[in-house]
Amino acid sequence: MKHEKIPMSCREITDKILQIIQSTGKNILINEQKCIQFKSKKHYVIKTELFLIENSKKLKKPLEIVIKLFNDKILNYLEYWNNENNQYLKLKSLFGENNLPKLIFSTPGLVIYEYIHGINYFNLLMNRKLSNESLSFLSEWFYSLHKRGIVFGDSRLTNFILSKDNKLFVIDYEEIHRDDVVRDASNLMFSFIDNYPGILEHANIDYHLQQMFIFLKSYYSLIRDSPPYSLCNFSDNNDFISFWVEQLKKSLKMVVERRSLKINSEEINEMVGIIKKAFFQFFPKLF
């Protein structure tokens, strides 16, 4: 299978990581006894500690790190690794390291980053701790990508972290490429209401919709004069709302199809109606 992922324990993941590091001949020492495994759809991601890195003295204090082991059961998995590296370096060249964790080591099939202390945006949303300022950070980041025609690809709130010192950090770069920026924005927006339970489970999503709208207002105010939005020429509030409701409907249908959910067109239209009604409540007039 293209995206087959065999469950592995922390010990099994660590052993495989050590094998790859040893094959490089590099002198890298990690804490084999400390491992926390993070949820990942395709690959294996753990948090551990770094004791020693090539050509440096043993660290006085262990450095917390995140290791991403690319799933070799995926067809062309090294292409994912290669794109992760290339896009990280591209982002670094465009924006510096302000929003990126430090890349410590990379070798085919494996990357090591510094661990960022903070909370991802999904957990902030679910705990009702998303601030307008944190949403502005997110909208500014997407604006900086989209005005260049670059899309994040895997646009989900879990890939964005608000650090303890109140900075936005971005993780997971393997799907960054040039494509439809409107769809990328819509997919991120849908992740505000696609939680468990969320709109697909017919849960109350009033708070999530409100946060989604705050993001959209900030994002659109930045990018409205850049293509393709500058070509939209929204004549009134109805045009603006119809445009974004249609984009969210596409994102909704994509998620339903991808997860093979048994949701019929009538249920989809009902969900779209909820979104549209909320739009008119939040955007009584075009800002």
**CATH code of the domain in which 176 resides:** 1.10.510.10
Q: What is the pLDDT of residues 93-144, one digit of tens each?
A: 999 988 999 999 999 999 999 999 999 999 999 999 999 999 999 999 999 9
Residue pair 148/181 in contact by the 8 Å Cβ criterion:
no
Could you tell me which of 278, 155, 119 has the C-alpha nearest to residue 207?
278
Domain of 70: which CATH number?
A: 3.30.200.20
Characterise 165 by phi-psi region: left (phi > 0), alpha (psi -120 to 50), beta (else).
alpha
162 & 203 share domain: yes
Please give the residue range of the domain that contains residue 54: 10-114
Q: 110 pairs with which residues across the strands?
A: 69, 107
Q: Which two tokens stand for residue 198?
A: 């969320």
Same domain flag for 107 and 185: no
Residues 6-37 have pLDDT tens digits of 999 999 999 999 999 999 999 999 999 999 99
Q: If you write DSSP's letter for every residue of 150-199 in order, what string do you get?
A: EE-SS--GGGEEEETTS-EEE---TT-EES-HHHHHHHHHHHHH-SSSSG
Q: Which pTM value belongs to this model?
A: 0.92
